[in-house]
Amino acid sequence: MISKKLEEALNAQVNAEFYSAYFYLSMSADFAVKGLPGFANWMKVQFKEEQDHAQKLFNYIIARGGAPKLMAVDGVKTSWDTPLEVYTDTLEHERKVTEAFNKLYKIALEENDFAAQSFLKWFIDEQVEEEENVIAIIDALKLIGDNGYGLYSMDKDLSSRTFTSALAE
């Protein structure tokens, strides 16, 4: 059984993951509208991953005797000037998500909830990967600068990203 405090914090994180999903779907839409289908695909996969994260937390709340509470999802930004601006926003957002999981882990530590600590470790590791992937894209975009062929070529590369659910992990 999880404590009320942890249940509430996990429910807030379910909402935050749906917000992330919404944020990345909005970025995907903006890329698609601007003729960058590979970037749009990358963000669509990101959108699906965030929904997956929300479900993983949702399932865990139930497994530990709590109750998921789905709250309203805030609206998101809908337009960006450049791909670099999109990924800079993404990195800033993911760093906030990392902070949120660190806070959740701290609650689990304070409560001696070892099962929750074990569960949250997956997300803490996932955040390292999330930030690393986005930093690599930011570095590539900085190298490309205003080079149209570079952007075209990167768009082709990003079109190959596929989604794999982490629900079974």
Site of interaction with ligand FEO (CB under 6 A): 17, 20, 50, 53, 94, 97, 130
Residue 136 CB partners (closer than 8 Å, separation 6+): none
Output the smallest distance, CB 28 to ligand FEO, in A: 14
Nearer to ligand FEO, 46 or 151 (CB): 46
Q: Is 32 exposed, middle or buried (0-12, 13-18, 19+ CB in 10 A)?
A: middle
Q: Which residue is nearest to ligand FEO (CB)?
A: 53
Nearer to ligand FEO, 1 or 168 (CB): 168
Give the residue with the Cβ less far from ligand FEO, 120 or 151.
120
Please, are residues 151 and 140 in contact by the beta-carbon 8 Å criterion? no
What tokens appear for 61 in the block?
């709340």
- If the CB atoms of residues 20 and 41 are measured against ligand FEO, the closer one turns out to be 20
**Through-space distance between the first and last CA atoms of the chain, rounded to whole angstroms:** 21
Query: Which of 13, 139, 158 is closest to 84 using CA atoms?
Result: 139
Alpha helices in 34-113 (DSSP H): 37-63, 83-110
The dihedral sign for the CA sequence 157, 36, 39, 93: positive
Provide the minimum distance between the beta carbon of 96 and ligand FEO in the complex, in angstroms, as a whole number.
10
Give whichever of 136 and 143 is closer to ligand FEO, judged by the CB atom: 136
Minimum gap (Å) between residue 27 Cβ and ligand FEO = 12
Minimum Å gap between C-beta 54 and ligand FEO is 8
Q: How far is the CB of 123 from ligand FEO (least distance, A)?
A: 7
